[in-house]
Amino acid sequence: MTPLRQARQLIEEACRRAGREASCVRILAVSKRQPVEKIVDLSAQGQDDFGENYVQELAAKMTALEGRGLRWHLIGHLQKNKIKLVSGRCALIHSVDSLALAEALNRRAGERGLTEKILLQVNVGEEITKEGFSPEKLRQDAALIFALPHLEIQGLMTMPPLQNDAEQNRPFFRRLRELAAELRARHSTARHPLRELSMGTSHDFVVAVEEGATLVRLGTVLFGERAG
Ligand SMILES: *Cc1c(COP(=O)(O)O)cnc(C)c1O
């Protein structure tokens, strides 16, 4: 069985255990520091969604693989001075981690007459070194962000503290799901469906799916170890 089929099967089993529809979970293939040939190979197996961390690498791969119908996601930190490289070119930007960045993306999308689909990144572990809104800061800024006219807020993303045991990340995934439900009750509109939960990587995606992930970000299980 291919790694992609195997991951899909584990997702289906996790959905069955959790009483969820497996069709609600998408795999995002994280192709950072992987060669273009491996992306082409995976896309030939039916994988359409690819995620990259570094803006320059993302832009280069989008250009190199143009016309193949791939959907690109940015999952790493976005500096405001690099917005022009990704604006309007991503299926989804997962890593919107501040009000200032949301405002800058909104401004650029408005200038270009488009709507940017985004997720808000939450630092559910409240780690000092990690990007993302603290849950409290997100509650504070939510009304301002949801009022930005050129953004479509599709949901939340998190990258919990790396732990040896995937089970240890379960409370963080649960916290993201609960925060999304809370925001949905307060701010959700037709324009901001807030239905996506981007959570879970190669080592903990099964637990993330059990806790409600709709997008799992898989790198090494699909591609093998990264270069460099
Ligand atoms: C690298 C990365 C992943 C994929 O990690 P793997 O352990 O290779 O599955 C997922 N999400 C983010 C934000 C990453 O940086």
- d(CA 29, ligand 1 centre) in Å: 9
219 lines ligand 1 (CB under 6 A): yes
Ligand 1: atom nearest CA of 202 is: 9
Residue 108's pLDDT is 98
The two three-digit tokens of residue 193, written as one number:
């469906």
The answer to whether position 224 is within a domain reads: no
At position 2, the amino acid (one-letter code) is T
**Angle between the N-to-C axes of helices 36-44 and 55-64, in degrees from 0 to 180, rounded to the nearest 10:** 60
The answer to whether position 228 is within a domain reads: no
The answer to whether position 158 is within a domain reads: yes
Residue 127's pLDDT is 77
Residue 38's CATH number: 3.20.20.10
- d(CA 66, ligand 1 centre) in Å: 23
- d(CA 30, ligand 1 centre) in Å: 6
Residue 220's pLDDT is 97
CA distance 88 to 170: 34
Range of the domain at 158: 3-218
Residue 164's pLDDT is 81
Q: What is the pTM of this model?
A: 0.97
The answer to whether position 163 is within a domain reads: yes
Q: Is 189 exposed, middle or buried (0-12, 13-18, 19+ CB in 10 A)?
A: exposed
The answer to whether position 223 is within a domain reads: no
Reading the chain (228 residues) residue by residue, the pLDDT tens digits are: 999 999 999 999 999 999 999 999 999 999 999 999 999 999 999 999 999 999 999 999 999 999 999 999 999 999 999 999 999 999 999 999 999 999 999 999 999 999 999 999 999 987 777 789 999 999 999 999 999 999 999 999 999 987 789 999 999 999 999 999 999 999 988 889 999 999 999 999 999 999 999 999 999 999 999 987
CA distance 139 to 81: 26
CA distance 221 to 8: 11
Please name the residue whose Cα sits nearest to atom 12 of ligand 1: 75
The answer to whether position 88 is within a domain reads: yes
At position 19, the amino acid (one-letter code) is G
3-state SS record for the chain: CCHHHHHHHHHHHHHHHHCCCHHHCEEEEECCCCCHHHHHHHHHCCCCEEEECCHHHHHHHHHHCCCCCCEEEECCCCCHHHHHHHCCCCCEEEEECCHHHHHHHHHHHHHHCCCEEEEEEECCCCCCCCCCECHHHHHHHHHHHHCCCCEEEEEEEECCCCCCCHHHHHHHHHHHHHHHHHHHHHHCCCCCCCCEEECCCCCCHHHHHHCCCCEEEECHHHHCCCCC
218 lines ligand 1 (CB under 6 A): yes
134 lines ligand 1 (CB under 6 A): no
Residue 125's pLDDT is 85
Q: How many domains does the chain have?
A: 1
The answer to whether position 85 is within a domain reads: yes
CA distance 121 to 215: 13
The two three-digit tokens of residue 176, written as one number:
């993201």
The answer to whether position 200 is within a domain reads: yes
Hey, how many other C-beta atoms are within 10 angstroms of the C-beta on 175? Answer: 18
